[in-house]
Each structure stands twice: as C-alpha cells, then as structure tokens.
C-alpha cells in the first residue's frame, strides 16, 4: 500500500526527533517540511539526492497533490511536522485528502513544544495535591474556538494551562484568567523557541505577563504555561506523590507499616 509518513520533528533541537522518525527521514526519497518551524539541520539528515520541499508557501491541495503523485511513482515520502503532529498540526485535512487519493498515512509522534517548554523551566505540570490536569489550548484570536472552550471557562478548573499560538494575545489571556478568578500573582512561564539555540525563558505572573512579553519582544513561537505548578518556589513546598511514598502499597511495592 502506498503511504506517506508524517513525522513529529520535536520542538527544534535536531536530536529531539525519535529514533524511528529519524530512520524514516533518512530513508525518504521525498521530504516535505514546514521550513519556518523545523530545523534545517534536521532535514540535512535526509539522504543525498532526496527531493526536499519547503511547504511554508504552499497550500493544502498543492502539498497533497505532490505527496500523492510521488507515492504513485513508488517513492518513499515523508512529511515532517514541528513538535507532535497531533497538536495544532493540521494533519487531519492532509490525511483526509491523501486517503481520497488512495494513499495511507503512518504517523510517528514527536516531542511537543509543551513538554520541551516544561523541561526548559524544570516543571512537573501535574503536581500531586495541587493539580492533576493539564489543558492544552489556545487563546481565541482570528481563529475562533468552539463554544464551551473559551479560556475563561477552561481556566475555571484552576489546573495547569498550556497556551499554544497565543503570544500576541496576552492581554486577552490575562483578562480571561482574571475573570475566571485566578489571582494576579499566579505564576506564568513563557518559553520562546524551546530547545533552539536562541531559546528564551521568561518567568512572570498574570499581572506582569503582557508587559514582560513586550519587554522581551516575544510575539511568536512561544509556549505560555500558567498555573501554580509553575511556581518557582515549588521545590520547597514539599508536594509528594503516592508513587514513591514509603507507606503506600501498590502493584509493584508493599508499603512499610506506619
């Protein structure tokens, strides 16, 4: 069966692709990639003679026609996406059209920028007794979000919130969180270009977020992580999981009696 492989490239650093993703890239005869977001150093791993296609200036039908045509010629085709393709990757529409063209799709996951950003700030996003939930979302800008998914409604859970595609919308983000009852002192960590050589980390609060974004000139490729899991003092607050609690019994370990 003819197939296109969609590969998650990871957040930026070329060595954060998976072993499987790298193998498919190195075997490919045709490589399409979003040149504004995937590192050229990674694409240089493709074999010599491979056809390399930058897709930033292409529309959906052009991309799909090219991928389908090369598959029909019997070539190995990969499409490299930033982070993990399942989050804001716009892969659904590609898969639908490829299937119509008789081409199957294999997806290889990648490290999403949300997790690369958490790593950059040394955070656990699910802190025992504080929050056990992470919401991955975006602020509403030119692209609407469905009813029931407005930031104010999502923020009402008080959990960790990770905002993609929202760097230019911080005024609105702050307003929505405050309207949901969050305090102005709530910690926010912004990671610009996580794992790229020019990565920048900005520690802020809801009160200062908009100003800090402006001061640091961050208007794109930024992950905004908000909530008390991002508290810089969290290490001193003694949150402990049950998993390694010496008195807690689970499937792999009997807890010591109190």
Cβ–Cβ < 8 Å for 222, 167? yes
Q: Is 186 in the site for ligand SAM (CB under 6 A)?
A: no
The reply on whether position 223 binds ligand SAM by CB under 6 A is yes
Q: Extract the tokens encoding 155.
A: 């923020």
Q: How far apart are CA 54 and CA 59, in angstroms?
A: 11
Of the two residues 2 and 21, which places its CB atom closer to ligand SAM in the complex? 21
Specify the residue, 29 or 109, whose C-beta has the smaller distance to ligand SAM.
109
176 part of the interface to ligand SAM, by CB under 6 A: no
Nearest residue to ligand SAM on Cβ basis? 83
Query: Does the footprint of ligand SAM cover residue 21 (CB under 6 A)?
Result: no
Q: Which of residues 52-111 bind ligand SAM (CB under 6 A)?
A: 82-84, 87-89
Closer of 196 and 248 to ligand SAM (Cβ): 196
Minimum distance, C-beta of residue 148 to ligand SAM, in the bound complex (Å):
22
Does residue 191 bind ligand SAM (CB under 6 A)?
yes
Helix, strand, or coil (residue 142) = coil
Max CA distance (Å), the chain: 69
At CA 53, angle to CA 47 and CA 58, rounded to 5?
165
CB-based contact 62:97 (threshold 8 Å): no
**73 CB burial (10 A radius; 0-12, 13-18, 19+):** exposed
Binding residues for ligand SAM, per CB under 6 A? 11-12, 82-84, 87-89, 112-113, 117, 164-165, 191, 193-196, 221-223
């Amino acid at each position: 069966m003819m197939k296109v492989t969609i590969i998650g490239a990871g957040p930026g650093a070329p060595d954060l692709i998976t072993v499987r993703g790298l193998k498919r890239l190195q075997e490919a005869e045709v490589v399409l990639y979003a040149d504004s977001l995937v590192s050229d150093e990674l694409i240089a791993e493709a074999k010599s003679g491979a056809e390399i296609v930058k897709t930033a200036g292409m529309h959906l039908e052009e991309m799909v026609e090219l991928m389908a045509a090369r598959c029909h010629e019997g070539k190995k085709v990969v499409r490299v996406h930033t982070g993990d393709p399942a989050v804001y990757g716009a892969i659904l529409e590609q898969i639908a059209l490829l299937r119509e063209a008789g081409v199957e799709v294999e997806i290889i996951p990648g490290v999403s920028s949300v997790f690369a950003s958490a790593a950059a700030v040394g955070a656990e996003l699910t802190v025992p007794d504080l929050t056990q939930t992470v919401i991955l979302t975006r602020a509403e800008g030119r692209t609407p979000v469905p009813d029931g998914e407005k930031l104010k409604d999502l923020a009402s859970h008080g959990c960790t919130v990770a905002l993609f595609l929202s760097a230019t919308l911080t005024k609105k983000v702050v307003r929505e969180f405050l309207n949901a009852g969050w305090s102005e002192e709530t910690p926010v960590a912004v990671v610009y270009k996580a794992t790229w050589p020019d990565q920048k980390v900005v520690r802020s609060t809801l009160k200062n977020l908009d100003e800090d974004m402006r001061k640091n000139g961050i208007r794109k490729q930024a992950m905004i992580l908000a909530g008390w899991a991002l508290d810089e003092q969290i290490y001193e607050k003694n949150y402990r999981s049950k998993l390694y609690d010496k008195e807690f019994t689970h499937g792999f370990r009997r807890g010591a009696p109190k």
